[in-house]
A = this chain, B = another copy of it.
Amino acid sequence: MLYSKLFGKTKKTVNQQFESKNHELLTKGGFIDQVSSGIYSLLPLGKKVLSHIENVIRQEMEAIGGQEISMPLLQPKINWQKTNRWSTVDILFKTKSQYGQEYVIAPTHEEIVTPLAKKYIESYRDLPLYLYHITPKFRDEPRPKSGILRGKEFGMKDLYSFHADKKDFEIFYQKVIEAYLKIFNRVGLKEIKITEASGGSFSKKLSHEFNVITPAGEVDLFYCSFCSFAQNQEIATLKEGELCPRCRKGRMIKGKAIEVGNIFDLNTRFSDSFDLFCVDNQGEKKPVYMGCYGIGTTRLLGAIVEVYHDDKGIIWPENIAPYQVHLLGLDQQDKIVNQNCQKVYQQLIKKKIAVLFDDRQEISAGQKFSDADLIGIPHRLVVSKRTGEKIEYKRRDQKESKLLTLEEIIKLCHQG
């Protein structure tokens, strides 16, 4: 992609109050645009990063047997009355047709997925079943804040599981924990803390939150310095400095975190509302056991920026970067340099390396360097008079640059 043609150029100054670092860097870098409080557009760079995150999630969902579907965002009132949530949930956006029907604008999909599953589940042989989708969700938040970390409209992957009994649910629940750790690891978040969300071992229902430690976080956690164990401050039974009860190696630390995923034991809460039963292998009718598992996709994008940035801009993890390579052409008024730039650009495309080529002629070298730092693509290449036959190569997360051949660079990019 030619940067001269890309929609959403960097902005040095924006006439706007920023709610957080992700808000500032994603806006200045040309990834997002705020439409109003808690509502954003994704520009081409932001859309690309989100697609990469979604694809990682999709692959790991498919790997544990998840099947992708697409459920509607307009949800009939009757479905929400059946679960007794029409009047009791306070973050619902609702809408009414001029012809009388009323709807909830989807904050979640238990009210749709349960009656859907019911149409296809009769016996235990139809189970287990794992359905997921990735769609916008809506919440009437009193104070949307922290950029795209908490919006009125946001992207979310929600997975719902259906089981013949509790034991089968518990086995799958552990599988989802493993899948989630893989997802967060692949998008660059290596250190995830898993928090027992409510009541811990005293509660009959399982529920866990996946947290990223960052000073920008909105949750207070006590977490282990060594393993993934953590406790929410509100229900914490441990103090700072105590030995971790899980691994017995680390010590408990207090810190802020962003919640990027959560998983719930739904038990038969929704199966009961919609009379979702299955016949077991003894011929007996049993309520279906359900779980639900969420990852906020746009929130994850924001969280990654909170973790991966410096004072110059974003530092995208390799797997989800909008492009792999940022090629800067300097001295392009020089015919030979210009030809070299074009050659490098075309060769990279040919090798299937996603490259953003800053081909702008009227822009200074200094501006191009600072734009590259702000945008945060992992591999930066410079072709100029000075570089001659070689190319200056620098990783966004390192200080030193070096002169390499195109072949050496292609090898580096393929290694990640």
Contact = CB atoms under 8 A, between A and B. Distances in A.
Contact of A41 (B39, B71, B103): B71
A18 interface: no
Interface in A77-101: 90, 93-95, 97-99, 101
A69 B40 contact: no
A341 interface: no
Contacts of A74: 39, 93, 138, 152-153
A15 to B, nearest CB: 10
Contacts of A133: 47
Given A67-B7, A97-B93, A73 B153 contact: yes
A44 B73 contact: no
Contacts of A95: 93-95, 105
A35 B93 contact: no
A364 interface: no
Contacts of A43: 69
Given A97-B140, A105-B105, A50 B70 contact: yes
A140 B98 contact: yes
Contact of A70 (B41, B75, B93, B140): B41
Interface string A111-137: 010001001100000000101010110
A99 B68 contact: no
B152 A39 contact: no
Nearest to A142: B99
A5 B112 contact: no
Contacts of A65: 5
A260 B74 CA distance: 23
A44 B70 CA distance: 8
Contact of A9 (B41, B105, B120): B120
Nearest to A136: B73
A70 B42 contact: yes
Given A36-B76, A93-B97, A99-B142, A41 B105 contact: no
A416 interface: no
Interface residues of A, number: 53
A279 to B, nearest CB: 15
A93 B70 CA distance: 21
Nearest to A5: B65
A131 B7 contact: yes
Contact of A129 (B7, B72, B112): B7
A373 B119 CA distance: 22
Contacts of A46: 70
Contacts of A142: 99
Contacts of A7: 67, 69, 120, 129, 131
A49 to B, nearest CB: 11
B70 A73 contact: no
A60 interface: no
A302 to B, nearest CB: 15
B72 A153 contact: yes
22 contacts: A5-B65, A7-B69, A7-B129, A35-B71, A35-B72, A35-B75, A36-B101, A39-B74, A42-B70, A44-B67, A44-B68, A46-B70, A73-B73, A73-B136, A73-B138, A73-B153, A90-B98, A93-B95, A94-B95, A95-B95, A98-B140, A136-B136
**Ranked 10 nearest A-B pairs via Cβ:** A42-B70, A95-B95, A44-B67, A41-B71, A36-B76, A93-B95, A39-B72, A74-B153, A7-B67, A72-B153
Given A41-B70, A44-B69, 8 more contacts: A33-B119, A39-B74, A41-B69, A41-B71, A44-B68, A47-B68, A95-B95, A99-B142
